[in-house]
Amino acid sequence: MLNASLKELSASLAAKEISSVELTKLFLARIKALNGELNAFITVDEEKSLAQARAADARIAKGAARPLTGIPVAHKDIFVARDWLTSCGSKILSNFVGPYDAHLIERFNGAGAVLLGKTNMDEFAMGSSSESSFYGPVKNPWNPACVPGGSSGGSAAAVAARMAPAATGTDTGGSIRQPAALSGVCGLKPTYGLVSRYGMVAFASSLDQAGPFAKSAEDLALLLNVITGFDPRDSTSIEREPEDYTRDLEKPLSGLRVGVPKEHFGEGLAPDVGAAVEAALAQLEKLGAKRVPVDLPNSSLSVPAYYVIAPAEASSNLSRFDGARYGYRAKDYVDLADMYRKTRAEGFGEEVRRRILIGTYVLSHGYYDAYYLKAQRIRRLIARDFAEAFKRCDLVVGPTSPTVAFKIGAKTADPVQMYLNDIYTIPANLAGLPAASIPCGFGAGGLPVGLHLVGNYFSEAKILNVAHRYQRETDWHRREPAGLKS
Amino acid sequence: MNWEIVIGLETHAQLSTASKMFSGASTAFGAAPNTQACAVDIALPGVLPVANREAVAMAVRFGLAVNDGKAENINRRSVFARKNYFYPDLPKGYQISQFELPIVKGGRIRITVNGVEKTIRLTRAHLEEDAGKSLHEDFHGMSGIDLNRAGTPLLEIVSEPEMRSAGEAVAYAKALHRLVVEEIEICDGNMQEGSFRCDANVSVRRPGEPLGTRCEIKNLNSFRFMERAIEFEAKRQIEILEDNGKIVQETRLYDPDTDETRSMRTKEEAHDYRYFPDPDLPPLVVTEEWIEQIKKAMPESLQVQRDRLVELGLYVQQADQLTASRSTSTAALSLLADAPPKERSMLANWMLGPLSAKLNEEKLDIKDSKVKPDQLRALSRRVADGTVSNSSAMGEVFPAMWNGEGSPDEIIAKRGLKQISDSGAIEKIVDEVLSKNAKQVEDYRAGKEKAFNSLVGQVMKATQGKANPAQVNEILKRKLGR
């Protein structure tokens, strides 16, 4: 059951081979056994989860089940959920219990899924290693001395360690795809605007996008069917006809044009990762795809542009955490300015403070044009590069991350080294494009490698189709970490 | 040598929408603290703003009204921006406003000061949200925060620095107030409650020289305070300059108790607001179709209504007074259009006199008047046909109608107010009066006009005011042979 796909779980529930309560208990037990070691979850609440499971069982008994009814799903602790602690991995929200449900949580509740727990993450989603959480670092299930990637590292690790059949995350610069790659699972960042941001604690509003983690592309499609759709509460939510993302899964790949950007295969790419990605490209060719070289000439500018735009938005988005209305407040202060200063100095971790400082600086009078406006121009250039590339290919394919998972603590002293982890993933955020990472082999130390698939706007079905056909021929996605207890 | 005072005004008009600029919470004034602040207004984690369509429509309506109905001053694409600063009554830590691309650019307001007309150009008008309120009393060394007002839609209207006296500034503010409150009905205009707030930028210079250093004066919550604050501030600046001093650019607060302005913060202390486009809100797009719809739904201009009232036969002065407010203007047009032409001026005088006095006394809007238009027209009919005198109509019938005593005819009958229009009866009384007042008759015949009025008075007194005054005049004149 721990290894079953969502479709298999759904069938078992429908056939009454297992109840949602039993299934939920199974995963709760797995979390209990492994979370001490992996620290993937911040909050687990058996009673609340089991209450939802009982309701799901009643729904299944009535014959009113939908594809995800009764299936436990873990959510990144960035999604506000009613009556659940929603900490965003930060001390400043370490006492914040959600008073409402995020759009994504509403969607899962509506589908009858069970909220299995809230997963650990880099504080306010700022990081690529899940080490900056107030609740301590998440460990990689393939090697607990390594990071699982980040910021949605808890969700990635939970799926990799079979503590949850599926999970959600958010991706601002790679925070779904990079941990998916480093933890050996599948993750998808949809087109910007496809999933409502309502109830998702904002990091960088113009880049943030929620998406699913699962063991296979087919599972991702089922999850995507639940979470996408127009929401009038988010002005950047896109109004369009709902799609069934499972519809094209089986389509043959003959004639598919796979764009390979040389910029993503150059300096900085570890040879083990490069070899695994090359093998995956060869596999796609075997399936009938055609390899097309494409250029993304402004790729090298994406990290600097991102580290202007994202901190700028974050510095403003995080202003609401001031200790006045909710969240952590410093104990002793002499006046208002002192309360703000101490609350925020004590409540935010180092990386968050660094980004607030960078963001405040680049938006300051006299610097705005040189940094923020210039970064926005680069952003448009990067979107144009992709538009040009998609005239010649259907998908842009390459490595998700330049290296496999690194050791905990290896990059915390050098923020720029940490930022370069997202060099291949950031361009899709800047352009607002959908992109996925799927397992495509193993590199040094037996650690997983991720294959990055970037599609044109709203081409999620195409990305999932390619990933699914690839997964029919390979078993990387079925491998599970050895050596975990239980 | 003369000094020239240069004034520009920034006005915040609260838009009278039912819900807030970016949330669904109510905008009603005066509710218990923090009962009208929803998740968006208190800036919970994860909430997002959604622009209020009605507020945008009101801004477009304003743009059309200050540009003679032409829409070229309306930006088809404007951008919401964040103005970042920390304050407890600003829950998000930023105010959503418009910065580089406001919804309205340009336009003009026409004013008249001492009979001279002048046009004041507008720089821009933009949409933004209001902050909450900090309450510093009753909290024993702490401050209270009321977020009911947080998120209320505002239209900030910025004029060019084209006013040259406190009088012109007040005339501009009054004209703008009338425009937003009465003409296009987008603001309730209550200055005490803060629905219409003005800040004045004041500087002085020698005529012909470049603009001097300005000071911004805040807290001008009445037209009178505005006039006094500007006068004080201009005098203060002139005194400094005449002593060879320099004006420091700063924000100053007007204190009505001491009738002074005092420094709040200097330019050096000013915030760096770090404006940038709000990534939660796509550019605000106003389509041609929408502008056309808004234009069609605009109320008729009060200037046009004034001209219609004049066409209906009113004096210009009456028409001006009746079109001072939207509700009176609407009521006047509906009352007078169905009245016989000869009675319209009388009805207008009733509206401006006793009716307006009663409405003021009981603080009622004209549409809630206890005397209905039909009743007024029925009464004017009875004055016109001589049944009742104008003075009894207003002195007795009108108050009785207000008290719900029935129709004019019922009241006239019940109270015996019918005029004596029987010339035989009047002649008899005139004869009696003449015989008893030989002295006045003699005086009148000797050329004293006053004596005639005295005789009319005697006749009226003898008939308890019921004699038709026109007939009394005519009969007296005939009998006195002059």
Give, in words, the CATH class of A6-252. alpha beta
Considering chain B, what is the average pLDDT of its residues? 92
Catalytic residue among A129, A130, A152, A175: A175
Let me know if residue B295 belongs to a domain.
Answer: no
Q: Which residues neighbour A75 within 8 Å (Cβ) at sequence distance 6 or greater?
A: A81, A104, A105, A108, A115, A117, A118, A119, A155, A167, A168
- Give the tokens for residue A404: 């496999």
Q: Are residues B112 and B167 in the same domain?
A: yes
Residue A55 has what pLDDT? 98
Residue B156 has what pLDDT? 98
Interface of A with B (CB under 8 A): 79-80, 86, 88, 93, 96, 99-100, 102, 197-202, 204-206, 232-236, 312-313, 315-316, 318-322, 324-326, 336, 340, 360, 363-365, 368, 372
Q: Select the more confidently predicted residue: B267 or B234.
A: B234
Please count the structural domains in chain B: 3
- Give the tokens for residue B334: 């509906």
Q: Crossing angle, helix A460-473 and helix A217-227, to 10 degrees?
A: 160
Q: Is A237 assigned a catalytic role? A: no
- Inform me whether the pLDDT recorded for B259 exceeds 80: yes
Q: Is A25 assigned a catalytic role? A: no
CA B73, CA B70: separation in Å to the nearest integer?
8
Q: Are residues B338 and B199 in the same domain?
A: no
B-chain CB neighbours of A362 within 8 Å are none
B86 touches chain A (CB under 8 A): yes
Residue A184 has what pLDDT? 98
Q: Are residues B374 and B455 in the same domain?
A: no
Q: Are residues B405 and B456 in the same domain?
A: no
Residue A486 has what pLDDT? 54
Which of A99, A202, A336 is closest, CB to CB, to B88? A336
A-chain CB neighbours of B145 within 8 Å are 324
Mutate one of A233, A342, A367, A369 to test the B interface: name it (highest B CB count within 10 A): A233
- The boundaries of the domain holding residue B369 are 300-415
Domain termination residue (choose one: B371, B396, B415): B415
CA A188, CA A467: separation in Å to the nearest integer?
11
List pLDDT tens digits, range B111-164: 999 989 999 999 999 999 999 998 887 788 788 999 999 999 999 999 999 999
Q: Give residue limits of the domains in chain A.
A: 6-252
In this prediction, what percent of chain B has a pLDDT beyond 90? Answer: 71
Nearest CA in chain B to A203: B46
Q: What is the pLDDT along chain A (486 residues), one digit of tens a residue?
A: 899 999 999 999 999 999 999 999 999 999 999 999 999 999 999 999 999 999 999 999 999 999 999 999 999 999 999 999 999 999 999 999 999 999 999 999 999 999 999 999 999 999 999 999 999 999 999 999 999 999 999 999 999 999 999 999 999 999 999 999 999 999 999 999 999 999 999 999 999 999 999 999 999 999 999 999 999 999 999 999 999 999 999 999 999 999 999 999 998 999 999 999 999 999 999 999 999 999 999 999 999 999 999 999 999 999 999 999 999 999 999 999 999 999 999 999 999 999 999 999 999 999 999 999 999 999 999 999 999 999 999 999 999 999 999 999 999 888 888 898 899 999 999 999 999 999 999 999 999 999 999 999 999 999 999 999 999 999 999 999 987 865
Q: Are residues B192 and B96 in the same domain?
A: yes
- Inform me whether the pLDDT recorded for B451 exceeds 90: no
Q: Are residues B465 and B393 in the same domain?
A: no
Q: Are residues B204 and B225 in the same domain?
A: yes
B-chain CB neighbours of A80 within 8 Å are 44-46
CB atoms A198 and B47 under 8 Å: yes
Q: Are residues B217 and B95 in the same domain?
A: yes
CB atoms A205 and B282 under 8 Å: no
CA B8, CA B140: separation in Å to the nearest integer?
40
CB atoms A320 and B45 under 8 Å: yes
Domain of B475, CATH number, reads 1.10.10.410
Q: Are residues B192 and B319 in the same domain?
A: no
Let me know if residue B326 belongs to a domain.
Answer: yes
CA dist B150 → A231, A360, B50 (Å): 24, 24, 15
Angle at B246 between CA B243 and CA B248, to 5 degrees: 140
Q: Are residues B192 and B238 in the same domain?
A: yes
CA dist B21 → A475, B44, B449 (Å): 53, 17, 69
CB neighbours (10 Å) of residue A407? 13
Residue B183 has what pLDDT? 94
B482: confidence class by pLDDT, cuts 50, 70, 90:
low
Encode A182-223 in three state secondary structure.
HHCCEEEECCCCCCCCCCECCCCCCCCEEEEEECCHHHHHHH
Amino acid sitting at position B180: V
List pLDDT tens digits, range B408-433: 999 988 888 887 777 778 888 888 88
DSSP, res B26:
B
Q: Are residues B327 and B193 in the same domain?
A: no
- The ipTM, to two decimals, is 0.96
- Inform me whether the pLDDT recorded for B1 exceeds 80: no
Q: Is A94 assigned a catalytic role? A: no
Q: Which residues neighbour B413 within 8 Å (Cβ) at sequence distance 6 or greater?
A: none
B48 touches chain A (CB under 8 A): yes
Closest among B202, B114, B206, B214 to B166, alpha carbons compared: B202
B-chain CB neighbours of A236 within 8 Å are 279-282
Strands A186-189 and A209-214: antiparallel
B-chain CB neighbours of A334 within 8 Å are none
List pLDDT tens digits, range B354-390: 999 999 999 999 989 999 999 999 999 998 888 888 8
- Inform me whether the pLDDT recorded for B401 exceeds 70: yes
Catalytic residue among A49, A87, A151, A216: A151
Mutate one of A100, A170, A316 to test the B interface: name it (highest B CB count within 10 A): A316
pTM: 0.90
- Inform me whether the pLDDT recorded for B268 exceeds 80: no
Q: Are residues B68 and B201 in the same domain?
A: yes
